[in-house]
Amino acid sequence: MTAEQFDALPEEEGRKWELLDGELIEVSSATPKHNRILMRLSSLLNTFAESKRLGVVLPETDLAVRANTRLRPDFGFFSSETWRTVDLDRVPVVETPDIAVEIISPSETAVHRKVDAYLKWGVREVWLIYPEIRTVFVHLPGAVQQLTEGAFLLSDLIPGWRLQIADLFENL
């Protein structure tokens, strides 16, 4: 399927799709655990980043990642510089987020292909959050960091911000 065909598909109640190299991929519905992690992380990051004028968090928005690919990360973080170029009335977003964040469910099938697509598109970091094992993997071009509960999630792209991994999963 082409990106144009994908963009023309009607919205289906209760179903989400992504397009990865021309292949339709069904995205499972988010669980309450998934949404709690999403809200916690995106809220903390967005509040800090906006207060320091470092950037903004954009949740669940289609990104035109590359030819015949439309991905919708749980959220993208856009630096202030990139954010100024985003057309706020257009979807899919064609600008590259600095960070793409995916909260991984057990039924997720295309995780590694999506990471590859993001990094090839120029996303500088991809954060994969695995609630079942309470672990975060930070993918950078040519490197991967595994963060468990004693570690801190931080990024050179967001100076001064950090979150202890255990806090991300607290009370779940």
DSSP string for residues in 69-87: EEE--SEEEEEHHHHTT--
Which pLDDT belongs to residue 49? 97
Q: pLDDT by residue (tens digit) across 133-149? A: 999 999 999 999 999 99
Q: Is the pLDDT of residue 88 over 80?
A: yes
Which pLDDT belongs to residue 85? 95
**Is the separation of the CB atoms in 158 and 48 below 8 Å?**
yes
Q: pLDDT by residue (tens digit) across 24-56? A: 998 888 889 999 999 999 999 999 999 999 999
Q: How do the residues of the chain divide into helix, strand and coil, expressed in percent and rounded to 5? A: 30, 35, 40
Q: Is the dihedral of CA 73, 79, 83, 86 positive or negative?
A: negative
**Is the separation of the CB atoms in 113 and 145 below 8 Å?**
no
User: Number of folded domains in the chain?
Assistant: 1
Which pLDDT belongs to residue 13? 63
Token output for 48: 């800090």
Amino acid occupying residue 1: M
Average pLDDT over residues 87-105: 95
- The span from the CA of 82 to the CA of 160, in Å, is 19
- Mean pLDDT for the chain overall: 93
pTM of the model: 0.93
Q: pLDDT by residue (tens digit) across 102-116? A: 999 877 778 999 999
Average pLDDT over residues 125-134: 96
Which pLDDT belongs to residue 171? 86
Which CATH number belongs to the domain containing residue 86 in this structure? 3.90.1570.10
Q: Is the dihedral of CA 36, 42, 48, 51 positive or negative?
A: negative
Q: How far apart are the first and last CA of the chain?
A: 38
- The span from the CA of 92 to the CA of 63, in Å, is 5
Is cis: bond before 73, omega within 30 of 0?
Answer: no
Which pLDDT belongs to residue 14? 62
Which pLDDT belongs to residue 67? 84
Which pLDDT belongs to residue 15? 66
Owning domain of residue 56: 3-168
Q: SS3 for 6?
A: helix
